[in-house]
Structure 1
Amino acid sequence: MTPATSTPDATQQAAPRAEHRAWTWHGSAAPLDLKLRYVPMPSPAAGQVLVRNAAIGLNPVDWKVLGGALVDWRAGHVPGVDGAGEVVALGDGVSADWLGRRVAWHTSLHRDGSFAEHTVVDARALLRLPDALDFETAASFPCPALTAWLAIEKVPVKPGQPLLISGAGGAVGQYLVQLAAARGFVVTAMANARHRDRLLALGAADCIDGPLPDGGGAWTGGRGYFAVIDAVSGDHAARMADALRANGHLVCVQDRVAQWPCDPFGLTLSMHEVALGALHQHGGDEAWTQLRTAGEQMLAALAHARLQPQERVVRPFEALAQLLDDLRLRSFSGKPVVRVR
């Protein structure tokens, strides 16, 4: 590990500390069972950096994985995938230019994550922050915004074509509506009526009530769309396939569609799945370069108000478990963010 001694500020942040605070998992699916403890300070390996976190973004996946079905964690694991802060130490092979830099980042579910004062992050996953962008907005960005970008990238750009986003009221939908409208699509947003004014202001041409009712309720609006991007569930996405024209595109952000939703050689629909976390296991350097470039362009747009983030709900580090449980219970509207310092 290269010690952070290049600047006085970096030296202060990377002073030898044996421990730091982290929220740790001990086998329970309940967010309120996370424990705030002192744990050993992590050290970056080759190709990694150590980030002193200033803010942490919370996402639905953060509570969904606590049951252990999607991960193989040991007791004491630190959850969390999104954060923002300053790079305070470098592993071998990482450019010294990163030291002291303000960054946002998304990390793998399979390593210790963001619910801590410091996190080890792969250098290839770092997003440089514009000076004008605050840490709390930056921490709210990676998972929803990068997922939205991956989703819209699945759809060929055809300005003027109708595109429907189901589940548009959430954090991913916040960015999807704006990205789709910027590419020239005529966007219909499907969401609860309380989101209507916000989604129209973000660029949606129309809003319709949704999602479809539980229990198998069908889409009845006809086959009018070139593409549907669904941010509700795999089952919901399958039912939304009835909204697609021939040669249309169905993009599933949550889960995946289990079976092809049309007969062979009929509508010839294209289906796409989106999983940001998959890049940590399977993404090559080219894929990460493309994602970082897109992410930094969007962060610049946020800094200059050309892209609008979801309203933040901010709580102190000591309240992280409670805020995560509130997210699970959907007891507030907005994007939850934890302020570390």
Structure 2
Amino acid sequence: MTNAVAPTHRAWTWHGSANPLDLTLQQVPMPVPAAAQVLVRNAAIGLNPVDWKVLGGALVDWQDGHVPGVDGAGVVVALGEGVSAHWLGRRVAWHTSLHAHGSFAEHTRVDVRALLCVPDTLDFDLAASLPCPALTAWLAIEKVPVKPGQTLLISGAGGAVGQYLVQLAAARGFVVTAMANARHRDRLRSLGAADCIDGPLPDSGAWTGGRRFFAVIDAVSGEHATRMADALKANGHLVCVQDRVAQWPCDPFGLTLSMHEVALGALHQHGDDDAWTQLRTAGEQMLAAIAHARLQPPERVVRDFEDLAHLLDALRQRSFGGKPVVRIR
């Protein structure tokens, strides 16, 4: 079942280069949704660090002409076999697999289980900015047992994932310390951080603040997370959002730390329907919370579809603050 869909559309395509500026905007055949998929006419595309990190090809097995991108928002315009007709015309946001053609296009084929219904009061720019950072933050906080009043440190709290993490952790009753550049301090306190400290740690610098946290969620790197393990109390939890800890950071039968890794994209290969139902429910709850001003999204930097490659390159160079979004007119 479909609305009117043209035979071709515009997409940014990859041709082997790690440089975002080498992406090519061209006319390509319109995707056709398979069983349990829909076709979304994109209104906005959310850009994420992973979008430029994978262009070198080390993490993916792309063919020439692949369409990158993992986050988008728009309207469902066609249904694959077995998909309920109620999805046609629905406003949705979504996160898709790195291994499938993605969001850098006017239309994207998306698994129906990955669709998030977008409230009518939210614009597509905001909806497209949410999936990767907000769902990653939710997966990270879910790793930590809820113990109100316990201390939790978020390192790398200044980015989009950190913004959601601070709010989710504070809402669960944790006493949150945010580690980030000093320029983020006022914003993080307004979001629920009880304390803010400068970070990240300098290269090879050690944590010297003592073992005072029940949990540390690190959004910097696996190597940084390893050093942050010294901030944990006995039986504490170390959660790695970027990369993973290569070696257990304490002796056996000592501090008995628990370690956790977070990888949103892994659900596309290994998540069952129950895992996706939980993730989709969490995403829709966060969209509703934003619509009712109970959750604050990062400020957005919006550019036109034709400027996508330049905005992705600017993200790679960290030449601006805010969450980058591309709008399709």
TM-score, normalized by length of structure 1?
0.96
Q: Distance in 2 between matches of 1:317 and 1:280?
A: 26
1:65 pairs with 48, 54, 63, which one? 54
Is 1:220 the counterpart of 2:219? The answer is no
Q: Secondary structure at the match of 1:246?
A: strand
Which residue in 1 is equivalent to 2:19?
30
Which residue in 2 is equivalent to 1:233?
221
Which residue in 1 is equivalent to 2:254?
266
Which residue in 2 is equivalent to 1:152?
141
Q: Distance in 1 between matches of 2:187 and 2:14?
A: 36
Letter in 2 for 1:89: A
Letter in 2 for 1:153: E
How far is 1:141 from its partner? Answer: 0.0
- Write out aligned runs for 1:1-341 (5 A): 2=1, 4=2, 11=3, 14-15=4-5, 17-214=6-203, 216-341=204-329
Q: Secondary structure at the match of 1:251?
A: strand
How far is 1:234 from its partner? Answer: 0.3
Q: Distance in 1 between matches of 2:279 and 2:202?
A: 34
Q: Distance in 1 between matches of 2:328 and 2:243?
A: 31
Q: C-alpha deviations, 1:238-264, integer Å up to 9, x for none?
A: 000000000000000000000000000
Count of aligned pairs between the two proteins: 329
How far is 1:18 from its partner? Answer: 1.5
Q: C-alpha deviations, 1:190-221, integer Å up to 9, x for none?
A: 0000000000000000100000011x110000
Q: Distance in 2 between matches of 1:49 and 1:238?
A: 41
Q: Secondary structure at the match of 1:110?
A: coil
How far is 1:273 from its partner? Answer: 0.1
Q: Distance in 2 between matches of 1:260 and 1:340?
A: 46
Q: Secondary structure at the match of 2:245?
A: coil
Q: Distance in 1 between matches of 2:246 and 2:86?
A: 45
Q: C-alpha deviations, 1:25-64, integer Å up to 9, x for none?
A: 0000000000000000000000000000000000000000
Letter in 1 for 2:47: L
Structure 2 unaligned segments of length 5 or more: list them: none
Structure 1 unaligned segments of length 5 or more: list them: 5-10
Q: Distance in 2 between matches of 1:178 and 1:198?
A: 11
How far is 1:175 from its partner? Answer: 0.1
Q: C-alpha deviations, 1:98-148, integer Å up to 9, x for none?
A: 000000000000010000000000000000011111100000000000000
CA RMSD of aligned residues (A): 0.5
Percent identity (aligned): 85
Q: Distance in 1 between matches of 2:328 and 2:173?
A: 39
Q: Secondary structure at the match of 1:223?
A: coil
Q: C-alpha deviations, 1:61-82, integer Å up to 9, x for none?
A: 0000000000000110000000
TM-score, normalized by length of structure 2?
1.00
Q: C-alpha deviations, 1:152-189, integer Å up to 9, x for none?
A: 00000000000000000001001000000000000000
Q: Secondary structure at the match of 1:277?
A: helix
Letter in 2 for 1:194: R
